[in-house]
Chains A and B, each alone.
Chain A
């Protein structure tokens, strides 16, 4: 299995809702990432997990809460989001948290906040 899967593919939520994005990989990768991508812009790094520990938090608002329950799963919990948070949320993984490693991206979750 050489892919990263993300669910759901699309998500529409109100500003008072609580929802979660899920990401899964079975490549034995020990680094996992969350990116946010606005239309026609490159991905922006949000969080990095290495060996299930949060290694990087790029000053992301607390309404985004990441969780890494085990080495194969990565969640992003969403609460009290704003319309400007609407974007494509990409999950990626790599063998190690090492810039020499290639990151494998999932297909993304298209999030719309009303």
Chain B
């Protein structure tokens, strides 16, 4: 069964600190993996998209990594800001379907 798991479920960090969110998937065949940021009560916004051949991709303070062999991805946030408080959702596609992870809820405190 195609599944996407994320950890931790929630995370609290202080402003200015770094953090790393994890995504493990069993989706097969693999087409691509996306990280979305979703503010409370808003729609998700795409941060990065990675295909099989890509190991790392950055978008400002966000850096995503992909290990297609172990079927793991991570999202690293550098120098966190209060506005980074949101849910981060990992979405993996098998070429036809989108499989959403449950998300990690990040809270950045001053």
Contact call B101/A42, Cβ cutoff below 8 A = yes
Q: Which residue of A lies closest to B89 (CB)?
A: A42
Within 8 Å of chain A (Cβ to Cβ): is B1?
A: no
- A103-114 vs B, Cβ < 8 Å mask (1 yes, 0 no): 111111010000
Contact call A42/B31, Cβ cutoff below 8 A = no
Q: Which residue of B lies closest to A56 (CB)?
A: B97
Contact call A42/B49, Cβ cutoff below 8 A = no
Contacting residues of chain A (55-114) with chain B, CB-CB under 8 angstroms: 88, 90-92, 99-100, 102-108, 110
Interface residues of B, CB < 8 Å — how many? Answer: 23
Contact call A4/B43, Cβ cutoff below 8 A = yes
Contact call B42/A107, Cβ cutoff below 8 A = yes
Total A-B contacts with CB atoms under 8 angstroms apart? 48
Cβ distance A34 to chain B, nearest Cβ, rounded Å: 12
Contact call A42/B94, Cβ cutoff below 8 A = no
Interface residues of A, CB < 8 Å — how many? Answer: 21
**18 extra interchain contacts, Cβ-Cβ under 8 A, other than A41-B102, A99-B32, A104-B46?**
A42-B89, A42-B101, A42-B102, A43-B89, A44-B100, A45-B98, A99-B96, A99-B97, A99-B98, A100-B93, A102-B46, A103-B46, A103-B98, A105-B36, A105-B43, A105-B45, A106-B43, A108-B43
- Could you list some 27 contacts between A and B, CB below 8 A? A4-B43, A40-B103, A41-B102, A42-B89, A42-B101, A44-B100, A90-B43, A91-B43, A99-B93, A99-B94, A99-B95, A99-B97, A100-B31, A100-B93, A102-B34, A102-B46, A102-B49, A103-B98, A104-B46, A105-B36, A105-B44, A105-B45, A107-B41, A107-B42, A107-B43, A108-B41, A108-B42
B residues with CB within 8 A of A: 31-32, 34, 36, 41-46, 49, 89, 93-98, 100-103, 105
